[in-house]
């Protein structure tokens, strides 16, 4: 099926949702972080689009910003022993990273694809 080329912003929003940046209909990732080879709706090939370390960097940056209030609370407002404080913060940071990572992968793949297919 033929879809009109989306705007850069639309492509990024679709990638952020884990959808194909071109059509927005099919999933972009399978098995958590593995990109599909080709979109079953619009036929765009995804196997050559690489996000590399961008999604990991973005996920850790976002997790670090979200965890700061918890860090302050756990370290300065709680009476928990150090090992419990560290365990809570590490588990929270890991959970945030795992939740955000697929979205960042979709976003970075959308950025690479949009720049690769742009006319300018
Ligand atoms: Zn598609």
pLDDT 10s digits, 24-48: 999 999 999 999 999 999 999 999 9
Query: pTM of the prediction?
Result: 0.88
Task: At 107, list the tokens.
Answer: 């976003």
- The answer on pLDDT for 1 being more than 80 is no
Rounded Cα distance between 90 and 88, Å, is 6
CA of residue 39 to ligand 1 center, whole Å: 5
Rounded Cα distance between 32 and 57, Å, is 17
CA of residue 45 to ligand 1 center, whole Å: 9
Q: What is the pLDDT of residues 105-118, one digit of tens each?
A: 999 999 999 999 88
CA of residue 41 to ligand 1 center, whole Å: 5
What's the confidence (pLDDT) of residue 79?
Answer: 92
| Domains of the chain, residue spans | 8-117
Task: At 114, list the tokens.
Answer: 């949009």
Rounded Cα distance between 46 and 5, Å, is 16
CA of residue 19 to ligand 1 center, whole Å: 8
């Amino acid at each position: 099926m033929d879809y009109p080329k989306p705007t850069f912003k639309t492509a990024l929003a679709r990638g952020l949702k884990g959808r194909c940046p071109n059509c927005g209909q099919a999933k972009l990732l399978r098995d958590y972080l593995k990109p599909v080879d080709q979109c079953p709706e619009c036929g765009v090939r995804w196997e050559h689009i690489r996000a590399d370390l961008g999604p990991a960097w973005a996920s850790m940056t976002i997790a670090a910003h979200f965890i700061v209030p918890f860090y302050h609370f756990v370290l300065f407002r709680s009476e928990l022993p150090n090992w419990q404080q560290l365990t809570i913060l590490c588990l929270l940071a890991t959970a945030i990273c795992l939740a955000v990572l697929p979205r960042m992968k979709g976003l970075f793949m959308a950025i690479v694809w949009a720049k690769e297919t742009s006319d300018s």
